[in-house]
Amino acid sequence: MAVCILSVLYAWTLYNIPILAVGVRHLLRSNQKKSKASTSRVDKLPTVSVIVPVKDEEKVVGRLLEAFLNVDYPPKKREIIIVEDGSTDKTAEICEKYVRQYPSQIRLIRRSTSNGKPSALNYALKHVRGEIVAVFDADSVPESNVLLKAAKYFEDLPTAAVQGRPHFINADENMLSKFISYEEAVRYETYLRGKDVLNLFVPLTGSCYFVRKKILNKVGGWDSKSLSEDLELSTRLVEAGHKIRYASDVQSWQENPVNLNQLFRQRTRWFRGSMEVAIKYGRLARKLNKRCIDAEITLMGPYTFIPCLIGYLVTVYSLLSQVQSNALSTIMAQFTSVFTVFFLLIAGIALIYVTKPRKMSNVLWLPFIYIYWSIQNFVALYALFQIVFRRPKRWAKTKKAEATINHDAKG
């Protein structure tokens, strides 16, 4: 049984190695080029509706609104829709102030009862006027050219959605926030980049993403019962034959968890949501379509963390119990070592190039990031227990603070 489990893990690993390698190669080449925003005439630019669900975000919502009011995009071609979802602090008061000052650019929709982010997004979708729907979290601080650069990707008609590249405002707050910022930088700039280059499944990741309104309406909006509404929507889009792009030049800043409790709650929701979507859309694996097959393999990712955990435990047990290993276990251990070294090599190259200017010293974070990845195996196991024992679904909101952007941290 252990051999079967580990064989699945190895197959999943081997499948993803070329994707990561292509992502790294493309990353190295992209550092030689500078992306350009759309050169379309103003009258040819699509109208964009930015939806921002907010609840108890008094510390950050003003910062977001100021940033969007200053984006380089024709005011008549954009609108900002704030969905106030039953806040108990001064969030609504702050939003109302901006609506009074900029009534033609900002709209405020109030809801007295909060049912989670996906429900708020669906509520806002009924009021959208734009051709493109953009979703941002309340702690986002978009770059001034974010809408112009996103519009460039929609000039390609087959493109149904675009996922932008997040940077982290509070990356330097402590060691954990630095771990997360590097982990996410590697994930976006190698894994998602590789998927985009190979025309595979690119998942939407919760914020700084864009979808054509007519397609969003056609697939039925967001699943209000899903813990990973972005991933669930991505899967439905791909199942319907639509294309999602990763846009590394469409950039926004946001905050990430700064303590283990916040990280555990966030990742538990992410992993459980992904596991549930994988079960729900298991039928994708039967389609003779490389995007659909890749989508199902991607969704199975959190499940593969559990065999990793088993592998760690077996290794520790064998070291402590002095059990004589057989030929099979020796070969598997050697394969494990090769895979580990290869992944660390790819991650090391990515760490050097995801920051500008390049920093060779970033590779010193590799041992810590490997330990951090290992900890997430336990989180995946806990998420699986929640599914098996049918624990109630809870939307874990990450607490935000009014952090200051450090542009030196930009990768």
74 pLDDT above the threshold of 80:
yes
Q: Got the DSSP string for 39-73? A: ---GGGSPPEEEEEEESS-TTTHHHHHHHHHTSSS
2 pLDDT above the threshold of 80:
no
281 pLDDT above the threshold of 70:
yes
Confidence of residue 98 (pLDDT cuts 50, 70, 90): very high
pLDDT at 11: 82
45 pLDDT above the threshold of 60:
yes
Q: Write out the residue range of the structural domain in which residue 127 sits.
A: 1-33+47-411
Confidence of residue 34 (pLDDT cuts 50, 70, 90): low
Is residue 39 a part of any domain in this protein?
Answer: no
Sign of the torsion angle spanned by Cα atoms 97, 100, 104, 110: positive
Which residues in 130-280 belong to E strands, given as ranges? 132-135, 141-142, 159-168, 209-212, 243-254
For residues 347 and 339, the answer to whether their CB atoms sit within 8 Å is no
pLDDT at 214: 97
Highest mean pLDDT out of 27-41, 267-281, 385-399:
267-281
Spatial distance between the Cα atoms of 139 and 129, rounded to a whole number of angstroms: 24
pLDDT at 322: 60
For residues 49 and 129, the answer to whether their CB atoms sit within 8 Å is yes
Segment among 315-329, 332-346, 377-391 with least mean pLDDT: 315-329
What single letter denotes the amino acid at residue 271?
Answer: F
35 pLDDT above the threshold of 60:
no
Spatial distance between the Cα atoms of 286 and 44, rounded to a whole number of angstroms: 40
Is residue 385 a part of any domain in this protein?
Answer: yes
Is residue 313 a part of any domain in this protein?
Answer: yes
Quote the percentage of the chain above a pLDDT of 70: 85
Residue ranges of the alpha helices (H) in 243-282?
Answer: 260-280
352 pLDDT above the threshold of 60:
yes
CA distances from 342 to 28, 76, 192, 195 (A): 18, 50, 18, 19
Segment among 108-117, 131-140, 156-165 with least mean pLDDT: 108-117
Spatial distance between the Cα atoms of 270 and 288, rounded to a whole number of angstroms: 28
Average pLDDT of the residues of the chain: 86
Which residues in 230-361 belong to E strands, given as ranges? 243-254
Is residue 41 a part of any domain in this protein?
Answer: no
Tokens of 231: 């991933």
For residues 48 and 216, the answer to whether their CB atoms sit within 8 Å is no
Confidence of residue 115 (pLDDT cuts 50, 70, 90): confident
Confidence of residue 9 (pLDDT cuts 50, 70, 90): confident
Give the mean model confidence (pLDDT) for residues 31-37: 60
Strand 106-111, strand 132-135: pairing: unpaired
| CATH classification of the domain holding 14 | 3.90.550.10
Is residue 38 a part of any domain in this protein?
Answer: no
Is residue 40 a part of any domain in this protein?
Answer: no
Is residue 254 a part of any domain in this protein?
Answer: yes
Tokens of 207: 């914020």
Confidence of residue 270 (pLDDT cuts 50, 70, 90): very high
Spatial distance between the Cα atoms of 168 and 411, rounded to a whole number of angstroms: 9
Give the mean model confidence (pLDDT) for residues 158-176: 94
Is residue 320 a part of any domain in this protein?
Answer: yes
pLDDT at 120: 93
Give the CA radius of gyration of the chain. Answer: 22
> Element (H or E) spanning 332, and its range?
helix 327-353
1 pLDDT above the threshold of 70:
no
What single letter denotes the amino acid at residue 135?
Answer: V
Domain count, the chain: 1
Strands in 106-111's sheet, in edge-to-edge order, are 106-111, 78-85, 48-54, 132-135, 209-212, 159-168, 243-254, 141-142
Tokens of 159: 């493109």
Q: CA nearest 27: which of 17, 38, 19? A: 19
For residues 285 and 200, the answer to whether their CB atoms sit within 8 Å is no
**CA 279 from chain center: how many Å?**
20
Confidence of residue 130 (pLDDT cuts 50, 70, 90): very high
Give the mean model confidence (pLDDT) for residues 280-288: 90
Is 372 buried (19+), middle (13-18) or exposed (0-12) by CB count in 10 A? middle
What b/e string do you get for 78-109 counting C-beta neighbours within 10 Å, with b at 16 or more?
Answer: bbbbbbbbbbeebbbebbbebbeeeeebbbbb
Tokens of 138: 């309340």
pLDDT at 287: 86
